[in-house]
Chains A and B, each alone.
Chain A
Amino acid sequence: MQPVHGDTRPCPDPPEPESHGTGEDLLSPAFFRDKNVAERTIRPGHTWFDIFFRLAKYVIPIMVALAIIDILLRTFLPPEKLLPYMQKEFAFYTEKIKQFQALPYPDVLFLGSSRMRDDLDPEVFAMGLSQHWRHQARAYNLGLAGAHMEEVYTLAASYLPDPPPPYVIIGFSGTEVAWPYHFTYASRFLWKFENFVDYLRRVPFEYFYVRHVEYYIEAQICRFWYLFAQRDALLNCITENLETRLGLDLLEVPEEMRDHARVMVRNEKQRKIDHVHADSGYHPVLRQFKDLAARIEKNPEEVQITNRREFNNDPDVLNDTSADMLRLIVPTLRRKGCKVAIVETPTSPYMQEMNPVLHGEGFRRWMKGVAEELDVPFFAFPPTPENGLDNTFYGDASHLSDKGAKLFARMVLKRLVEAGFFDKEAAR
């Protein structure tokens, strides 16, 4: 008999599961099935109130205890203490930005990715502009690892101090402007509610990724749940202390790698502390090799480019969707009263030869067109014998070394001054 839909009469008893043989059977059944699959009677239910009331008996005390743990952690292990143990992106996107907002506002602000972060020494700018303006000038490099246009736009829209810096220099290469909606960190670390709503409003349907909504929600949980937000740093801190104090080998690094791993960990920690605490936002990177040229000479195989997108030389990767993002960034900064310039943060000649569309002439041509449309100065820096930006000035395939950052900063400053970009003295 087929039950009528919505019927609440008892179901017929289910047949007993088939049984073949006994324990002597080689594949004898030991079927671990619940025989009450179709219950004989429909048991009375509980109301939502009953359920919540009973759940509350567990949930409320646990929430209270977790809140107390959170307060203790925030008190005894604040972010400043955990800085060495944080993942680098977490440290830069949260602590460096916090540091930037706490410092006196700069006259010149650099925005961009790690290429901007490593390529421009702001001290060179500060000194040059102090001479140019005849008073003390301040420059800050807010280049952030993995920043794309979305991150730059969010910083411009929601993180500039009030009053904002009068001069903003944005550093881009092809990687940061291609695939404008394939960003990584804005939704995880930067978006405020208005940025999130703005993203939902403007993102084309085909570029909408649910993961950004998830990241945003996770970031909101992180705002009030410190244990969850700092889980990696806390775990690293516990692990390292157990290793050093109890001599445990929790990370199981092979013996021959141990010294190397220690140096790497120490350098990484120092790098985070230096970058976050630097008054100019810039600190030279401790590198294993002298420069890229030396590295190529030693073993070209070791020069690895991990981001597969860097190999994409499809001419259409730089298109109108990317231009649309720039059409948002530049007016946003202008509305706040900032004077904007875009500079190319050049990758090494090694990389430009590898992909001229994304890193060479293709990018420069495209960016020049968009800059002209937006009436914003664009300064390209192709590797020529005159400017001398060869592989010896690069720490790796994508980033300038300390020596390169000084040379490049002087080149950029010279070009900007010659173009009259800084002619009107910064309002102070």
Chain B
Amino acid sequence: MIFSSFRFLVFFPIVLLLYYSFRRLRQRQYILLIASYIFYASWDPRFLSLIFFSTLIDYYVGLRLPGARTQGRKKAWLWVSLCANLGVLGFFKYANFFIRSFQGMLMLSGMETDPVVLNIILPVGISFYTFQTMSYSLDIYRGKIEPTRDFVEFALFVAFFPQLVAGPIVRAIELLPQLRRTVALRWDDVAEGSNRFIQGFTKKVLIADNVAPFVDQVFQNPSHYDGVTLWIGSIGFAVQVYCDFSGYTDMAIGSARLLGFRLPENFRFPFTALNVADFWRRWHITLYSFMRDYLYIGLGGSRVRPGRLIFNVVFTMTLVGFWHGANWQFLAWGFYNGLLIVGYRFLLMPIHRFSVLRRFLDTAVGVILRAALSNLLFFVGLALFRCLNISDSFDTVGRMFVFDSAGERLLGGSVLFFYGLVLLSNIACEMKWPSRIAARTPLPLQWAGYILLIVILVLLSPNNTQAFVYFQF
């Protein structure tokens, strides 16, 4: 049941109606918990047991952690949580990758092995909810939060359906307090929640799903196309993955808001980023901040020697890449981003010390150049990310820089149009234009806008809604 499906558009109003029909907190918690389990079971009911396992482990660990008498015991309980969560994640997501890689190594050393591939289905959303439950145990271990003794409340924190399968990754500190209060039905929640949901729906069905066929065509066989087409394909994938994932986030935030909950933002107009470090503060913010707080800071953060700092950054970003899935392309993409951040820190940041250059970089031309460079580096990274195997990834990136490379050329006019649209909307949102415009727009013009949007959505939505890209991670 994906947010942009007909099924969800029936399911959600029923949940909403039931939720607000009951006034007691406990009743509402049960309604949301049952709805969340139904939502998840609509993919594959077997995997409910995994969520339940993760919930039980971290609930129990959470209860035992504060009472542990020694630091050693505390650590042991934390390891129980980490091993259980990372074990589940490792088995379902990474087992085949490690088996294949191990076999590859054996073959390289001249040993013959029978190919073994486990028949494992990746449970949808597993990377999101395991991180969420781990963050709970880690925060208790660090003394940042008190554990909850209410199992229903904790189960709902893990399975809360708006953000269950593709984030944002919400921490206990953000969601648990909200689960402990009853909210009244309010117009601003309805208005803002619906608006946000419509925004996400539009991004997904109007842009992401319409760009997807071009991107699939190009990356199915990238060697067939020339460099220009590969650039356009990569731009198309940037637009697709942004509209798909941020569209999902908008729908998640919107539907949570309709239920009276606030979820953290996951994107902040990434196409307006002025450098690679800035980009990562705008793209998949909850994953990035999770990795920063629980891994990078744990490794020593930036208050270390330069060599160690480079390792910390590259290692953290490589794991960000690996989080997306078990293949070498994602690892390479993470490593590439780590190198970019290090490069920015050690090569480009020193330039800012020269006042003439700094002044130039702050001019309109300088800002445009910085944003363009940030975008281009992002597109190159996505070409690594999107290819179907690592050799294709390197070959594709290489061919992107050979403009007269042989191959068919597709101009992808619609892709460039949608990129322009997304870029413009990112700039407008960064400058806070939409809220200013909306405040001054007379009601009839707002009606006309909605009517136009409905007509465009009806005409341009592909008949088969595609699954969200981030479900596979």
List the interface of chain A (C-beta within 8 A of B).
Answer: 2-3, 5-8, 11-12, 14-15, 17-18, 20-21, 24-34, 36-39, 42-48, 50-51, 54-55, 57-58, 61-62, 65-66, 69, 210, 214, 217-218, 227-228, 231-232, 234-235, 238, 249-250, 252, 254
What are 7 contact pairs spanning A and B, CB under 8 A?
A: A7-B180, A20-B292, A27-B296, A37-B264, A47-B185, A58-B450, A227-B459
**The one of A11, A42, A218, A227 that contacts B184, using a Cβ cutoff of 8 Å:** A42
B76 in the interface (beta carbon within 8 A): no
**The one of B182, B450, B454 that contacts A8, using a Cβ cutoff of 8 Å:** B182
Are B316 and A58 touching (Cβ within 8 A)?
no
Are B302 and A26 touching (Cβ within 8 A)?
yes
A-B interface, 3 closest residue pairs, ranked by CB to CB distance from nearest: A45-B184, A38-B177, A30-B281
**Residues of A with C-beta under 8 A to B182:** 6, 8, 42
B411 in the interface (beta carbon within 8 A): yes
Query: Closest residue to A239 on the B side, CB-wise?
Result: B459
Are A48 and B190 touching (Cβ within 8 A)?
no
**Residues of A with C-beta under 8 A to B262:** 34, 36-37
**Residues of A with C-beta under 8 A to B148:** 2
B268 in the interface (beta carbon within 8 A): yes
Which residues 285-305 of B sit at the A interface, judged by CB distance below 8 A?
285, 288-289, 291-293, 296-297, 301-303
Are A62 and B177 touching (Cβ within 8 A)?
no
**Residues of B with C-beta under 8 A to A62:** 447, 450-451, 454
Are B451 and A66 touching (Cβ within 8 A)?
yes
B73 in the interface (beta carbon within 8 A): no
Are A43 and B174 touching (Cβ within 8 A)?
no
Shortest C-beta distance, A210 to chain B (Å), equals 7
**Residues of B with C-beta under 8 A to A249:** 413
Shortest C-beta distance, A47 to chain B (Å), equals 8
**Residues of B with C-beta under 8 A to A12:** 177
Are A227 and B455 touching (Cβ within 8 A)?
yes
Query: Closest residue to B145 on the A side, CB-wise?
Result: A15
Query: Closest residue to B24 on the A side, CB-wise?
Result: A6
**The one of B25, B175, B186, B451 that contacts A6, using a Cβ cutoff of 8 Å:** B25
Shortest C-beta distance, A219 to chain B (Å), equals 12
Shortest C-beta distance, A357 to chain B (Å), equals 28
Are B265 and A32 touching (Cβ within 8 A)?
yes
Are A252 and B173 touching (Cβ within 8 A)?
no
State the main secondary structure of chain B at its contact with A: helix
Shortest C-beta distance, B442 to chain A (Å), equals 13
B368 in the interface (beta carbon within 8 A): no
Given contacts A7-B181, A32-B264, 19 further A-B contacts (CB under 8 A): A5-B26, A11-B180, A11-B181, A14-B173, A20-B292, A27-B296, A27-B302, A29-B289, A30-B268, A31-B285, A37-B175, A37-B264, A47-B185, A54-B191, A61-B447, A65-B447, A210-B7, A227-B455, A227-B459
Q: Answer whether A227 and B178 are a contact pair too, CB < 8 Å, given A26-B277, A65-B447.
A: no
Interface residues on B, range: 35 or more
In the bound complex, CA of A358 to CA of B296 (Å):
61
Which residues 405-423 of B sit at the A interface, judged by CB distance below 8 A?
408, 410-414
In the bound complex, CA of A14 to CA of B148 (Å):
14
B6 in the interface (beta carbon within 8 A): yes
**The one of A11, A15, A218, A254 that contacts B144, using a Cβ cutoff of 8 Å:** A15
Q: Answer whether A33 and B265 are a contact pair too, CB < 8 Å, given A25-B301, A210-B7.
A: yes
Are A252 and B411 touching (Cβ within 8 A)?
yes
**The one of A8, A20, A232, A252 that contacts B301, using a Cβ cutoff of 8 Å:** A20
Are B459 and A235 touching (Cβ within 8 A)?
yes
Are B185 and A31 touching (Cβ within 8 A)?
no
**The one of A7, A15, A50 that contacts B187, using a Cβ cutoff of 8 Å:** A50
In the bound complex, CA of A36 to CA of B10 (Å):
30
Shortest C-beta distance, B421 to chain A (Å), equals 16
Are A33 and B264 touching (Cβ within 8 A)?
yes
Are B410 and A252 touching (Cβ within 8 A)?
yes
Query: Closest residue to B341 on the A side, CB-wise?
Result: A26
Are A57 and B293 touching (Cβ within 8 A)?
no
B280 in the interface (beta carbon within 8 A): yes
Shortest C-beta distance, B25 to chain A (Å), equals 5
**Residues of A with C-beta under 8 A to B108:** none
**Residues of A with C-beta under 8 A to B358:** none
In the bound complex, CA of A3 to CA of B178 (Å):
11
Query: Closest residue to B293 on the A side, CB-wise?
Result: A18
In the bound complex, CA of A90 to CA of B470 (Å):
33
Q: Answer whether A217 and B6 are a contact pair too, CB < 8 Å, given A20-B297, A31-B289, A37-B174.
A: yes
Are B26 and A33 touching (Cβ within 8 A)?
no
In the bound complex, CA of A250 to CA of B415 (Å):
11
In the bound complex, CA of A265 to CA of B262 (Å):
50
In the bound complex, CA of A254 to CA of B288 (Å):
41
Shortest C-beta distance, A109 to chain B (Å), equals 31
Query: Closest residue to B26 on the A side, CB-wise?
Result: A5
Which residues 178-199 of B sit at the A interface, judged by CB distance below 8 A?
178, 180-187, 190-191
Are B190 and A55 touching (Cβ within 8 A)?
yes
Shortest C-beta distance, B27 to chain A (Å), equals 9
In the bound complex, CA of A3 to CA of B176 (Å):
11
